[in-house]
Structure 1
Amino acid sequence: MTRHDHQLHEGDSLKSAARDRLTQQGEQWTDMRAAVFDALAGFDKPASAYDIAEAVSGTQGRRVAANSVYRILDLFVGANLARRVESANAYVANAHPDCLHDCIFLICDTCGQTVHIDDDSLSGGVRDAAKTAGFTAPRPVIEVRGTCGDCGD
């Protein structure tokens, strides 16, 4: 399998899919977790825990610590609700939390826009190369930095 299709969620559908995924894993969908997910999903670029804490603080009318947000984001990454963009120390909501796959991010160095693509042949090749080197890579994350079509030319 090289590329695959899955249902992409957005808006209320995304929130519902995230809540379902988290509760299927035995976790609770609390008001704070919902607020963090809403904030994360509201960003059009990868967001740091500090960006998310600021957004949640604004909607909650009280200060929310970034440490609390980090703990929730770690839970979200483990449950496949969010993906971490390693090079930016930032997060994006996973538009298809019911589908486990490797992450390939295309990151624009000019505007910061990040596109997430799925290509199992590419990530499978990375996994195979790791295996040849005696290394196990159960879920590789690939980040490609460059210039997006809007910023290029």
Structure 2
Amino acid sequence: MGPEFNLRKATHEDLVQINEIYNWAVLNTVATFDLEERSLERAERWFESHLDPYYPLFVVENQRGVTGWGSLSPFHTRPAYKESGEFSIYIAPEWSGKSMGDALLETLCKEARKLGYHTLLGLITATNEKSLNLALKHGFFETGKYREVGKKFEQCLDVIVMQRILA
């Protein structure tokens, strides 16, 4: 990590800033297929699911507070998928391009390996070139494409499945 930011596990005190970053993405990007902002009540439930050590949540922060976050989540609820996780990363728009996404994805991959994950997946909107390039840079490869599975901002959107085998 450089001196510009710090990366650490998220605490409950970070939730408002985490949710603000996410809600900005909801309203302004196709990075998430949510169409309405996430309420603080819903964010609380989501945060609680990441209190499970197997599904960690990290933040990057600088002198201005939390500037981004990344998490591991279940890829699927069925038990045979337990060693497969899905990663998510969101960076506040004014901090994009400052290597925070790199630091988060590197940390998520290391943490997943420590926790015994076999593989990580990212479901990334096909038009989100920054996120696709981030995944490629960290050893992920395209394993599939879901065609026109989401509609946001009057666009039918494809989703690229990016995968990295950790074991």
TM-score normalised to structure 1 length: 0.39
Higher RCO structure (Cα 8 Å, ≥6 apart) = 1
More strand by share: 2
Which structure's CA Rg is the greater one?
1
Tell me which protein shows more helix as a share of its residues.
1
TM-score normalised by the chain length of structure 2: 0.36
